[in-house]
Amino acid sequence: MTPDVDPRAEETALLKLARDGDEDAFGSLADAYRTELRAHCYRILGSVHDADDALQDALLRAWRGLAGFEGRSSVRSWLYSIATHAALDIARHRSRRELATDFGAASEQGASPGPPLTDRPWLELYPDSWLGDDVRLSPEARYEQRESIELAFVVALQYLPPLQRAALLLREVVGFSTEEICGQLGTSAPAVNSALQRARTAVRDRLPARSQQATLRLLGDHRTQAIVSRYATAIERGDTETLVSMLTQDATWSMPPMPTWFSGHQAIREFLVRFPLGERWQHLPARANGQLAVGCYLFRDAQGGYVPWVIDVLTLAGDKIAAVTGFHGADGLPPRSGSWIGGAELFARFGLPARPN
């Protein structure tokens, strides 16, 4: 929308044109909310693939249902209602999205990474850049946006029943009133308030005491950049001791879609020596799910250089790494890997090049 035009007046004009059958006008109307609706669907579903499907379905429903929109709510509230229902329809037919650390015990020391389980409903990564750069948002609002896609929060949401999941997000993340949520979900105020109370308790019990946003803010940009640089340099040099010294004593290392994961210094050290530190790597910094991340490029003779392989998301506890979650591209995975995409496409989502240099 142009800065010289009242956004509400422009939206009203676009809505009138859309109701008259102007698809371009509807596209402009929807585009104003597409970024936040996509993130909303992702929070509900924990999957970029499913979120895109839900958003596409929601916009089709909205286009077909324009005649029934009477303007008693805002266009934004109406679209959120449709998108929420589209996402919940998918959620009801999918198992919850998880990380390896959520559904199985840590692997024994010396274990080899198991075969990838690409048919498991793994949690998928979400690029920070997809949250957009809305100049209307305050720094605090942007902080809260990133906090609401952190791995721990999205995983915790997956354990909530649909009504609780939707109510919590619409209230705590999007900021709708109880009255608006009642209309969006087609339920009563007591039901919404009960769902909110239960959801808040359940999520609080699953979240760490401090969010990654709070941790990163305390550390500051200089120290967080130093952590990423030191981490990448240690892997590239095969420096096991430096890498292990950066981890908390109870740190975890997981690698979806492999179900194998390791916990504690000894198990992680042995895994590192036997597997990744025996390879040649290059790295570039990234940001995923509101957290520090590193794009890891593996040297492959067949490709004659370094290729996109895995994005490591770092979960910090103070200035130590409490968890490394390495999200692999589909390169090297069995055929028909579901929604898994190749390393180059995965890296492109995060603005990372196909080659590190």
Distance between CA atoms of residues 243 and 247, nearest Å = 7
Report the distance separating Cα 263 and Cα 158, nearest Å. 23
pLDDT for res 118: 87
Q: How far apart are CA 241 and CA 5, in angstroms?
A: 59
Angular region, 110: left φ>0, alpha ψ -120 to 50, beta rest: left
What are the structural domains, with CATH classification, of the chain? 1-94 (1.10.1740.10), 212-349 (3.10.450.50)
Q: Can you tell me which residue has the tokens 């995965």?
A: 346
DSSP bridge partners of 330:
none
Predicted TM-score (pTM) of the model is: 0.95
pLDDT of the chain, 357 residues: tens digit per residue: 455 567 788 999 999 999 999 999 999 999 999 999 999 999 999 999 999 999 999 999 999 999 889 888 899 999 999 999 999 999 999 899 999 999 889 999 999 988 899 888 999 999 999 998 776 678 888 899 999 999 999 999 999 999 999 999 999 999 999 999 999 999 999 999 999 999 999 999 999 999 999 999 999 999 999 999 999 999 999 999 999 999 999 999 999 999 999 999 999 999 999 999 999 999 999 999 999 999 999 999 999 999 999 999 999 999 999 999 999 998 867 665 566 899 999 999 999 999 998
For residue 167, the number of C-alpha atoms closer than 13 Å in the C-beta half-sphere is: 26
Adjacency order of strands within the sheet including 320-328 = 258-263, 247-255, 320-328, 305-317, 291-300, 281-288
> How much is the pLDDT for 335?
62
Tokens linked to 251: 């740190």
User: Residues with Cβ < 8 Å from 53, sequence gap 6 or more?
Assistant: 90
Residue partners of 116: CB distance under 8 A and separation at least 6: 257, 258, 328, 333, 334, 337
